[in-house]
Structures are given as structure tokens and as C-alpha cells.
Amino acid sequence: MRPAALAILCLLLTGAGSARWFHASPPGLAAPAIPSDNPLTAAKVELGRRLFYDADLSIDGTLSCASCHNQKHAFADSIATRPGATGEPGRRNAPGLANVAWFGRLTFADPALAALEAQVAVPVFGTHPVELGMAGQEAEIRARLGRDPCYRTMFRKAFPRDRGRIDFGNVARAIASFQRTLVSFDSPYDRQRLPPAAAEGERLFKRDCAACHAGPLFTDMAYHRLEPLDPGAADKGLAEATGQDGDAGMFRTPSLRNVMLTGPWWHDGSAKSAQDAVRRHGIDHPPEDAARLMAFLASLSDLEFTRDPALSLPGEACGKPL
């Protein structure tokens, strides 16, 4: 086949391949951008899923990505700020990972972090705070994974052009690929089955919330300061990344998909109820309207997503139980 024809065929194949994961997205939402050097394949997703649940990515073998991003909680954490593998306290609350394939800006306050591939390094190697605690341990990661014949097979299938090279770059590509399949658009809201109170709540939501919690992802991907600036706060929010004092106390609007399942809420997990989180915006609602808003937020829960076996801890790898 001529190179041009081959390129078109590859494009068609990768396009069609991705469609399988994104077919359920709402009309009007374009398929997410996939980096050209990391096309989505079933082999990479399978490898990434196993790595996401593997505590061998932490220094003492106690934590995996899934420890803080739990499927039951729509891949968020049920505790406010979980300490990392060395016991160092966490600083922020782990957000849910629904639909991160579409997110152009990752985490609460770092505009430079735009690609899922790059974000994987933060929990693995990060020191502020320490999460998985593997700073300086790239060789150890290669050694641990390389010892397992099944991982060697999985890397070969996922990265045939690299002849299955096991290194952090490919670990990150695989985990990013798995995370792109965390697609959640199957809530009562998506099925347009809103109970009357939720339908009332939707009207209020459009009026008071949708400017920031915008569109089908329920976020504008922008940074806002919702509370009066506390100069003593240890977490400076956006200012930590930009160095601009004016950005202190600003955080990225979180998606509200599955929000009833992702508590505790707020960037530091300090809101103990969703109602408390809404109150902290400083928008006053009479109690009956607050209840309607809660009914609407509850309609954003996609329970299938929280129990989809394709996204859960794999039971086996290479045909053998794990």
C-alpha cells in the first residue's frame, strides 16, 4: 500500500477505534482530542487499567491510583485529603475522573497541566505533596514491572513499535489511555428523566450555576475565587502556579457529574455535604430552592459508571487470576 493510503487507513482505524469508547457522549460534544503520539488502543487501555490499580507504582506497595480515585465514588476519594505513601498529609481532595478525556486543564489550579500523559507524573513522582512517593525511582518502576512476564506481554501488545519497552513514558501513555475511557454520560439527566423537583432545580441551575458549571461537562474549565481571600491560607490556589498574587484563592470549576457521589467536597474536602458546598458560593437560596437544586444535582449521578466492570479492578491478566 502507498504511504498516503496507509496514513488514511490508519486515521480511519484509530478514529473508528476511539468511537467505540466515546459513542455515548451527548450530541454536540465533539470526541475528545487524543494526542497523535498516543492513539487509543484496546491493548493500551487494558494495560493502563491494570497499572491504575497496581500498588507497585507506590514506594512501599500500599497505594495505587485507585486508592484515591475509587470507582464507587465515581473515581473520587471519600476522605477529605488522603496522606500519601510516606504518610505526608495530602493537601487537596481527589476529584472524580469522569470524562477527564475532555478536560483541557487538569487539577484544581495548574493551567500548565493539560495532558493526561503529563499528569501521571504528579502522583507518581510528586513531592508537594508526596502521593505515590516514587521520586527518583524510575529504574525501580522499570524493574518491578519488568519482572512480571505478563506485564512484559501486555507492554509488547500495547507498544509494538517500541517492542514493548517498559519505561515511565509508556506507563504514563497506558494510564492516560485507560483514563480516557472513564466516560460517564448515562445519568437520569442524560436520559431526560427528571423528577419534577429536579426539573425545577434545572431551571434554577441554568439561572445561577451554568455560567461556570457549563455545558455537558458542567465546567467552564476556568478559575474562580468564590470565598473572600484568606491571606493566611496555606493553599494559594492558582497563584501557586502563576506566581500572581491576584490569582490567590482561585480554583478551577469542578465538573458536577456524579457530584453526589464524590464527597467530601471543595478543593480541600472541607465541605461535608453538597448543600454545604453550594452554600459556600455565597448565592442565597430559600430552602425549597436549595432542595430543588439538590434534586437536580442528584440527577447527575451515573450509577452504571460506578459499577461498570470494564473500569474496575481487573480480575485477571494474561488469562490468569491476579
Q: Which of residues 274-313 bind ligand HEC (CB under 6 A)?
A: 274, 277-278, 281, 283, 293
- Residues whose CB falls within 8 Å of the CB of residue 100, separated by 6 or more in sequence, listed in order: 106, 116, 179, 180, 182
Other Cβ atoms within 10 Å of 271 Cβ, number: 19
Q: Does 182 bind ligand HEC (CB under 6 A)?
A: no
| Of 23-31, 59-67, 159-167, 314-322: span binding ligand HEC (CB under 6 A) | 59-67
When binding is defined by CB under 6 A, the residue of 208, 291, 312, 314 that contacts ligand HEC is: 208
Burial letters 119-140, b for 16+ CB under 10 A, else e: bbbebbbeeebbbbbbeebeee
159 three-state secondary structure = coil
Closest to ligand HEC by CB, 32 vs 254, is: 254
Q: Does 131 bind ligand HEC (CB under 6 A)?
A: yes
The answer to whether 104 and 113 have CB atoms below 8 angstroms apart is no
- Smallest distance, ligand HEC to C-beta of residue 79, A: 9
When binding is defined by CB under 6 A, the residue of 22, 103, 151, 168 that contacts ligand HEC is: 103
- Smallest distance, ligand HEC to C-beta of residue 21, A: 16
What pairs with residue 317 in β-bridges?
320
Give the number of residues written for the chain.
Answer: 322
- Residues whose CB falls within 8 Å of the CB of residue 102, separated by 6 or more in sequence, listed in order: 29, 32, 217
- Smallest distance, ligand HEC to C-beta of residue 23, A: 22
Q: Beta strand 316-317 with 320-321: parallel, antiparallel or unpaired? A: antiparallel
Q: Does 82 bind ligand HEC (CB under 6 A)?
A: yes
| Of 28-36, 62-70, 184-192, 313-321: span binding ligand HEC (CB under 6 A) | 62-70
Q: Does 197 bind ligand HEC (CB under 6 A)?
A: no
Q: Which three cell numbers stand for residue 174?
A: 497506558
Other Cβ atoms within 10 Å of 276 Cβ, number: 14
Closest to ligand HEC by CB, 99 vs 161, is: 99
Site for ligand HEC, rule CB under 6 A:
57, 63, 65, 67-69, 82, 84, 90, 92-95, 97, 100, 103, 106-108, 116, 119-120, 123-124, 131-132, 175, 179, 208-209, 211-213, 224, 226, 251, 253-254, 256, 259, 262, 265-267, 274, 277-278, 281, 283, 293
